[in-house]
Amino acid sequence: MSLNLPAGVQINAPIHPRFDEVLTHDALALVAKLHRAFEPRRQALLKARIERQARIDAGDMPDFLPETKHIREGAWKVAALPKALERRRTEITGPVERKMIINAYNSGADSYMTDFEDSNSPNWYNQIQGQVNLADAIRRKLSFVNEAGKEYKLNDTIATLQIRPRGWHLDEKHVTVDGQRVSGGIFDFGLVFFHNAKEQIARGQGPFYYLPKMESHQEARLWNEIFCMAQDELGIPRGTIKATVLIETILATFEMEEILYELREHSAGLNAGRWDYIFSCIKKFKKNRDFCLANRGAITMEVPFMRSYALHLVKVCHKRGAPAMGGMSALIPIKDDPAANEKALAGIRHDKTRDANDGFDGGWVAHPGLVPIAHEEFVKVLGDKPNQWEKQRDEVFTAQDFLNFQPEQPITETGLRNNINVGIHYLGSWLAGNGCVPIHNLMEDAATAEISRSQVWQWVVSPKGILDDGRKVTAELVRALIPEELAKVKATVTAQGENTATYDQAAGIFEKMSLSPDYPEFLTLPLYEAMD
């Protein structure tokens, strides 16, 4: 199948059925125009990240920016929200896979964040088939028949769609413009916006987005300018696009108000993206010998640095008339174990009760079965109100609050093994094309895999990486445990009737990435280069 490509655009990938509906001349022309206008800025911002990291490695700790004090002290607010985004008690998330889209749309959630990023393995087929799936879903034409012949269709009451493109650090290696790779985020956004924005507007359901992994307000400014150009190209009024920013890096915490300000015409608020946030803290302070976190399970939203970050997000959003969205509970329902299932559901209920009482206007879940619980807890606090912006928090948070990294203990062999096990299991599934994986009764994605390998790396490097039995976590210990955990993962996968072909490779990658002397910035970058 041949494509009519714009001048300067090349695609080095197979064209499967219906891909020509997505990779049209005019859609790719928009992607190319956005690339040519903004790729130099993206590269400059990625370089600025490296330079900032070097300063942190040298001991320079982050703080609020003195040059943007006037923004933090100003009296501005974000633009008014469209009706479809006024009520967001429960938001469900998942990859751009047909069955997942149908189940999420039909879940009863107010909103569905569909994901080209962390919960999606970004091989070529997944990315473009995901575009096909969303076009069908937006037009209410999506259906799916599983291997047993069961048909899934969209019902009449569906969630509001929000779409997450890839972060600034990721390329789309299969598409080049003038010989240069396109940004994964620009590629994802440009295609889905070109094909669907006017249809979404006609239905009163968008276009709405979630923006991941930003580290500064300059990166938010770049998205804002991309939105302006894209709307102008399609003849859509500026401000039609609305986007929620995931505050999932420690540096973005110090610039929440500035990020809202840059996107104020297009803002739909902020979200407390907890798993990537923990990963970000480990990554940014990897060379600080005083920094070392306990087992992943001990880093809850109620420990000091997570608590202050979450409350500050509520304070900032409500001050500026923007939604404050709670982050993900990775717990999922547990079949065939009523006691364990009840414990998991109690954990979800506790999480959403805390967020609602703190002032969040809604929160995320990873499974349709959890939507009623989350909804119930927010209704208890909000009643019939669409939000609780009247709850204005008055705490004054300082850099010390955000950098109070506790607890440092316990670090246990069980916690170490769990990180190795989850990392290998997730990577094996990711390499096989699945980016959203239930493991040990938690829904894991790339963010939790990043935490797993990052904690192992940190415990090896840090003098504080000592198990509760007195043993130091060493490279030798990790290498000894990897084959044992690989065997467990293979047994689990085999029992589920799945192929284990990618798991030896996953174990090798996990070992390399968690024991490399130089900490690899993102786990998925070298993996993406190796995939189709």
d(Cα 364, Cα 210) in Å, to the nearest integer? Answer: 13
102 and 159 Cβ atoms separated by less than 8 Å: no
From 110, 276, 355, 445, active-site residue = 445
325: Cβ contacts below 8 Å, ≥ 6 apart: 88, 91, 244, 269, 270, 271, 272, 360, 361, 362, 363, 364
pLDDT tens digits, residue range 253-286?
999 999 999 999 999 999 997 888 998 999 999 9
Calculate what percentage of the chain has a pLDDT beyond 70: 99
pLDDT of 1 above 70: no
Neighbours of 529 (CB within 10 A): 9
| Strand boundaries in 187-256, DSSP class E | 208-211, 242-247
Q: Catalytic residue at 445?
A: yes
User: 40-44, 134-138, 351-355, 428-432: lowest mean pLDDT where?
Assistant: 428-432
- Rg, Å, the chain Cα set: 22
pLDDT of 330 above 90: no
331 and 346 Cβ atoms separated by less than 8 Å: no
d(Cα 146, Cα 149) in Å, to the nearest integer? Answer: 5
pTM: 0.94
Question: How does the average pLDDT of the chain come out, rounded?
Answer: 94
What average pLDDT score do residues 115-131 get?
A: 93
| Strand boundaries in 18-130, DSSP class E | 90-95, 111-115
Band (353; pLDDT cuts 50, 70, 90)? very high
Report CA torsion sign: 91, 93, 97, 102: negative
Helix axes 217-234 and 184-202, enclosed angle (nearest 10): 50
Phi, psi (deg, nearest 5) at residue 461: -80, -40
Q: Choose among 366, 513, 406, 500: nearest CA to 452.
A: 513
d(Cα 6, Cα 332) in Å, to the nearest integer? Answer: 45
Which of 482-520 are b and which e, b meaning 16 or more Cβ less than 10 Å from the residue's Cβ? beebbeebbeebeeeebebebbeebbebbbebbbeeebb
d(Cα 435, Cα 445) in Å, to the nearest integer? Answer: 6
pLDDT tens digits, residue range 92-120?
999 999 999 999 999 999 999 999 998 88
- 519, 65, 209, 299 alpha-carbon torsion, rounded to 10°: 50
Q: Catalytic residue at 238?
A: no
pLDDT of 526 above 80: no
- pLDDT score, position 299: 94
Pairing of strands 171-177, 9-11: antiparallel
294 and 408 Cβ atoms separated by less than 8 Å: yes
* All structural domains of the chain: 9-400 (3.20.20.360), 409-530 (1.20.1220.12)
d(Cα 175, Cα 173) in Å, to the nearest integer? Answer: 6
From 88, 98, 164, 166, active-site residue = 164
pLDDT of 55 above 70: yes
Q: Choose among 281, 126, 273: nearest CA to 211.
A: 273
